[in-house]
Amino acid sequence: MYKEVKNLEGAVVSVVKDNYLSIPFDPDNTDYQQYLAWVAEGNTPTPADEGTQ
């Protein structure tokens, strides 16, 4: 459902939902708030692909 995204420096900086919606790690972003709630329910995002953003 959610997949992590790394920047060029290799840090996880956002997630993509359903291969469609890019969600930044901004506490004020409501999509990010929903992602955090999903994680709080015990879910884990798919790790980012190695070597790509």
Partner 1 sequence: MASVVISGDTSGAITISAPAVAGTNTLTLPVATDTLVGKTTTDTLTNKTLTSPTLTTPALGTPASGVLTSCTGVNYDGYKNRIINGAMVIDQRNAGASVTVNSSTATYPVDRFAGRGVSSAGVFTAQQSSTAPTGFNNSVVCTVTTSATPASTDAYLFRQNIEGYNVADLGFGAAGASTVTLSFWVRSSLTGTFGGAIQNDAFNRFYPFSYTISSANTFEYKTVTITGDTSGTWLKTNGNGMTVSFSLGAGSSRVNTAGTWTSSTSEGATGQTNLISTNGATFYITGVQLEKGSTATSFDYRSYGTELQLCQRYYWKNLASSTYSQLGMTCLTPNTTTTVGYPNLPVVMRSTPSVTVSNVRMVDSVTGLAVTAVSVTQNSAITPEVSFTVSGATQYRVYTLQANNNASAYIDYSAEL
Which listed residue (1, 10, 24, 39) binds partner 1 by CB under 8 A?
Answer: 24
Q: Which H helix or E strand runs over 52?
A: none
User: What number of chain residues touch partner 1 (CB under 8 A)?
Assistant: 21
Helices (H), 1-53: 30-40
Which listed residue (1, 22, 37, 46) binds partner 1 by CB under 8 A?
Answer: 22
d(CA 37, CA 53): 24
* Other Cβ atoms closer than 10 A to 8: 8
Q: Smallest gap, in angstroms, from Cβ of residue 1 to partner 1?
A: 13
Which residue, 20 or 42, is less far from partner 1 as judged by CB?
20
